[in-house]
Amino acid sequence: MLAHELPRLLFGTPGTPLTLAQHEATFAPSVKVESLFNELAGSGLTGRGGAAFPTARKAELLRDQRGHHKVVVVNAMEGEPVSYKDSTLLSTNPHLVLDGAAILASIIGAKHVIVCVSRDNPTAVGHVQRALDERKRAGSRGPEFELETAPWRYVAGEESALVHWLNDNESLPQYRPQRPNVLKISQHSVLLDNVETCANVGLIGRFGAGWFRALGTRTSPGSILVTITGAVERPKVLEVVPGMTLRTVLSFADADPDPQALLLGGYGGSWLDGAFLDTPYDNESLAPLGASVGAGIVVVLGREGCGVVETQRVVKWMANESARQCGPCAFGLPALSEDLAELSTGSRTSTKALQRLEQRCGVIEGRGACHHPDGVVRLVRSALHVFAEDFMSHARGTPCLGSRAKKYFVAVPQLEHEHELIWE
Amino acid sequence: MGVKRRTGGFYLRVNPILCDGFGHCHELAPELVRMDEWGYPIIDKEPTPLSDLAALESARYAVRGCPRQALRIERVSET
Amino acid sequence: MIALTTPYLWYTTRATGMVTLILFTLVVSLGTLVANRVGGTVVGRFEINELHRSVSIVAVVFLVLHITTTVVDSFAPTGWLSAIIPFASEYRRVGVAIGAVAFDLILAVWISSLLKVRMKNESWRFIHWFSWLAFASAILHAYLTGTDTKNGVGLAVVGACAVCVIMASLWRYLARPARAAGRTALSPLAATKGPASASAAIKSGHASASSPSAFPRSPDARAKSRHASPNTPSSFPHSPAPRRSKRYR
Q: What are the E-state strand segments in A135-255? A: 144-150, 184-185, 188-194, 224-230, 236-240
Whether residue C249 and residue A331 make contact (CB cut-off 8 A), yes or no, is no
| Any B CB within 8 A of A177 CB | yes
Q: What is the DSSP string of chain C?
A: -PPB--HHHHHHHHHHHHHHHHHHHHHHHHHHHHHTT--SSSS-HHHHHHHHHHHHHHHHHHHHHHHHHHHHBSSS---GGGGTSTT--STTHHHHHHHHHHHHHHHHHHHHHHTGGGS-HHHHHHHHTHHHHHHHHHHHHHHHH-SSTTSHHHHHHHHHHHHHHHHHHHHHHHT----S-SSSTTSTTS-SSSTTHHHHHHHHH-TT--SPPPPPPPTT--SS-TTPPP-PPP-----PPPPS-S---
Three-state secondary structure call for residue A262: strand
Q: Could you tell me if residue C218 is inside a domain?
A: no
Angle between helices A94-108 and A85-92 (to 10 degrees): 100
Q: Chain B residues with CB inside 8 Å of C177's CB? A: 21
Residue C73 or B74, more confident: B74
Which chains contact A through at least 3 pairs of Cβ atoms less than 8 Å apart?
A: B, C
Q: Could you tell me if residue C217 is inside a domain?
A: no
Whether residue A330 and residue C190 make contact (CB cut-off 8 A), yes or no, is no
The answer to whether A173 touches A141, Cβ cutoff 8 Å, is no
Q: Chain C residues with CB inside 8 Å of A166's CB? A: 248-249
| Closest CA of chain B from C20, distance in Å | 25
The answer to whether A261 touches A409, Cβ cutoff 8 Å, is no
Q: Which pLDDT score is estimated for B17? A: 93
The residues of chain A scoring below 50 in pLDDT are 418-424
Question: A60 exposed, middle or buried (CB, 10 Å; 0-12, 13-18, 19+)?
Answer: middle
Q: Which pLDDT score is estimated for C5? A: 62
Residue A112 is inside which H or E element, if any?
strand A110-118
Strand A188-194 relative to strand A224-230: parallel, antiparallel, unpaired?
unpaired
* Res C248 pLDDT > 60: no
* Homologous superfamily (CATH) for A20-213: NADH-ubiquinone oxidoreductase 51kDa subunit (3.40.50.11540)
| Any C CB within 8 A of B68 CB | yes
Residue pLDDT, tens place only, C210-245:
222 323 222 222 222 222 222 222 333 333 333 322
Q: What's the rounded Cα separation, in Å, for the pair A405 and C187? A: 39
Whether residue A330 and residue C181 make contact (CB cut-off 8 A), yes or no, is yes
Q: Which of C190, C198, C216 sits opposite A417 (nearest CB)?
A: C198
| Any A CB within 8 A of C204 CB | no
Q: Chain A residues with CB inside 8 Å of B20's CB? A: 327
| Any A CB within 8 A of B44 CB | no
Three-state secondary structure call for residue A47: coil
Query: Is domain A307-420 classified as CATH 3.60.40.10?
Result: no
* Res C78 pLDDT > 70: no
| Closest CA of chain C from B75, distance in Å | 19
Query: CA angle, A129 as apex, A125 and A130 as ends, to 5°?
Result: 120
| Any C CB within 8 A of A260 CB | no
Q: Which of B13, B17, B37 sits opposite A326 (nearest CB)?
A: B17
Q: Which pLDDT score is estimated for C198? A: 33
Q: Which residues pair with C4 in a beta bridge?
A: C73
Task: Write b or e for each residue in C123-144: b if 16 or more Cβ atoms lie within 10 A of its Cβ, otherwise e.
Answer: ebeebbebbbebbbbbbbbbbb
Q: Chain C residues with CB inside 8 Å of B20's CB? A: 179-180
Q: Which pLDDT score is estimated for C4? A: 58
| Any A CB within 8 A of B2 CB | no
Residue pLDDT, tens place only, C173-223:
998 887 665 333 333 333 333 333 333 323 332 222 222 232 322 222 222
Q: What's the rounded Cα separation, in Å, for the pair B16 and A186? A: 23
Domain that holds residue B24: 9-76
Q: Which of B16, B20, B39 sits opposite A367 (nearest CB)?
A: B16
Split at pLDDT 50, 70, 90, the class of C28 is very high
Q: Which pLDDT score is estimated for C213? A: 30
Q: What's the rounded Cα separation, in Å, for the pair C111 and C237? A: 47
Q: Could you tell me if residue B4 is inside a domain?
A: no
* Res B1 pLDDT > 60: no
Q: What's the rounded Cα separation, in Å, for the pair A226 and A212? A: 18
C-side interface with B, Cβ within 8 Å? Answer: 34, 37, 40, 44-46, 49-50, 116-117, 121, 177, 179-180
CA A382 to chain CA mean position, Å: 18
**Domain assignments of chain A as residue spans, ordered by start:** 20-213, 224-301, 307-420
Closest CA to A70 of A190, A245, A212: A190
| Closest CA of chain A from B1, distance in Å | 33
Which chain A residues in 246-265 lie under 8 Å from chain B, judged by CB atoms? none
User: What CATH number does residue B63 fall under?
Assistant: 3.30.70.20
Q: Could you tell me if residue C247 is inside a domain?
A: no
Q: Count up the domains in chain C and report the number.
A: 1
Whether residue A367 and residue B42 make contact (CB cut-off 8 A), yes or no, is yes
Which of the listed CATH numbers 3.40.50.300, 3.40.50.12780, 1.25.40.10, 3.10.20.600 matches domain A224-301? 3.10.20.600
Q: What is the DSSP string of C14-68?
A: HHHHHHHHHHHHHHHHHHHHHHTT--SSSS-HHHHHHHHHHHHHHHHHHHHHHHH
Angular region, C44: left φ>0, alpha ψ -120 to 50, beta rest: beta
Q: Which residues pair with A193 in a beta bridge?
A: A74
Q: Could you tell me if residue B3 is inside a domain?
A: no
Q: Could you report the predicted ipTM of this complex, rounded to two decimals? A: 0.89
Q: Count up the domains in chain B and report the number.
A: 1
Q: What's the rounded Cα separation, in Å, for the pair C130 and C112? A: 11
Q: Chain A residues with CB inside 8 Å of C209's CB? A: 120
Whether residue B39 and residue A327 make contact (CB cut-off 8 A), yes or no, is yes
Residue of C nearest to A300 (CA): C227
Angular region, A378: left φ>0, alpha ψ -120 to 50, beta rest: alpha
| Any C CB within 8 A of A156 CB | yes
| Closest CA of chain A from B45, distance in Å | 10
Which chains contact B through at least 3 pairs of Cβ atoms less than 8 Å apart?
A: A, C
Q: Could you tell me if residue C168 is inside a domain?
A: yes
Residue C151 or C62, more confident: C62
Residue of C nearest to B71 (CA): C117
Angular region, C132: left φ>0, alpha ψ -120 to 50, beta rest: alpha
Domain that holds residue C54: 7-174
Report yes or no on whether pTM surpasses 0.90: no
Residue of A nearest to B39 (CA): A327
The answer to whether A238 touches A225, Cβ cutoff 8 Å, is yes
Q: Which pLDDT score is estimated for A420? A: 38
